[in-house]
Amino acid sequence: MNLVLFTPEETRQPLPLTDPRARHVRDVLRRGVGDTFDAGLVDGPRGTATLAALADDALVLTFAWGPPPPPPDPLTLLLGLPRPQTARDILRDATTLGVAALHFAATEKSEPSYAQSTLWRDGEWRRHLLAGAAQAFATQLPAVTAGETLATALAALPAGATRLALDNYEATAALRDALPSGAAAPLVLALGPERGWGARDRAALRAAGFTLVHLGPRVLRLETAVIAALTLAKSARGTL
């Protein structure tokens, strides 16, 4: 945890000693009364927290914040809903790499039961965003949707963005050759679930303005393909 993140509500009350962040401050960072550590306000500025007092059951903290963060990179990921463990990795790592939005859509080859996982049902997904942001020393969390149909997800994508869909079978160009340069250009990258896109998915993507592209001849795991695609995209945009 490179940055300890707090919501605005949490900064107005002591941090219980049972909270993993309190244990991190005391046992990993080894902070005592009067010491400071790096902190961030979720979707807000970074700054410093001071351990002002140690109560019987909580840490009493004060905060000093810096300037607000710059706007997020206008980069959206559209993903066929994968198995929950794969989704956990993507939620964390895509947040670490800095995307503005993550949309996990039900596609032709998605397993319907994945949408009922505790990951989505109980709000666990947000914990993985926080872990990814803390790793990156960042505060901004991407917008997330899960379980919508592909048609609904496509209709909600930002207008005017370059739209590229990764596909192992019908792509005719390499991702690296199709990427726009410049950090201000909105970009949507779409990747299918573990079983890939179906024929109806490809037709819907093409109708929505997507170009099918590839990462090369090797077939990658979805979570690996996400990292590879984002690395290429952010390098081309100068935001990595």
* Cα 76 to Cα 224: distance, rounded to the nearest angstrom: 17
Rounded mean pLDDT, 79-98: 97
pTM above 0.85, yes or no: yes
What pLDDT is stored for residue 240 in this prediction? 77
* Structure-token match 């709000």, residue found: 123
* Cα 146 to Cα 11: distance, rounded to the nearest angstrom: 29
Amino acid at the residue 29: L
What pLDDT is stored for residue 181 in this prediction? 76
Q: Which part of the chain has CATH 2.40.240.20?
A: 4-65
What pLDDT is stored for residue 184 in this prediction? 78
* Cα 42 to Cα 46: distance, rounded to the nearest angstrom: 9
Provide the pLDDT confidence category of residue 196 given band limits of 50, 70 and 90: very high
Q: Which part of the chain has CATH 3.40.1280.10?
A: 75-237
**pLDDT tens readout for residues 156-193:** 999 999 999 999 999 989 999 999 877 678 999 999 99
Provide the pLDDT confidence category of residue 59 given band limits of 50, 70 and 90: very high
pLDDT of residue 73 exceeding 80:
yes
What pLDDT is stored for residue 193 in this prediction? 95
**pLDDT tens readout for residues 200-231:** 999 999 999 999 999 999 999 999 999 999 99
What pLDDT is stored for residue 81 in this prediction? 96
The pLDDT > 90 percentage for the chain reads 92
Q: 19-28, 31-40, 46-55, 174-183: which has the minimum mean pLDDT? A: 174-183
Provide the pLDDT confidence category of residue 48 given band limits of 50, 70 and 90: very high
Q: Which fold has domain 4-65?
A: Ribosomal Protein L25; Chain P (2.40.240)
Distances (CA, A) of 11 to 22, 127, 226: 13, 18, 34
pLDDT of residue 66 exceeding 90:
yes
**pLDDT tens readout for residues 126-165:** 999 999 999 999 999 999 999 999 999 999 999 999 999 9
Q: Which fold has domain 75-237?
A: Alpha/beta knot (3.40.1280)
Distances (CA, A) of 69 to 18, 42, 66, 96, 159: 30, 11, 9, 15, 24
**Burial bucket for residue 105 (CB in 10 Å: 0-12, 13-18, 19+):** buried
- pLDDT averaged over the chain? 95
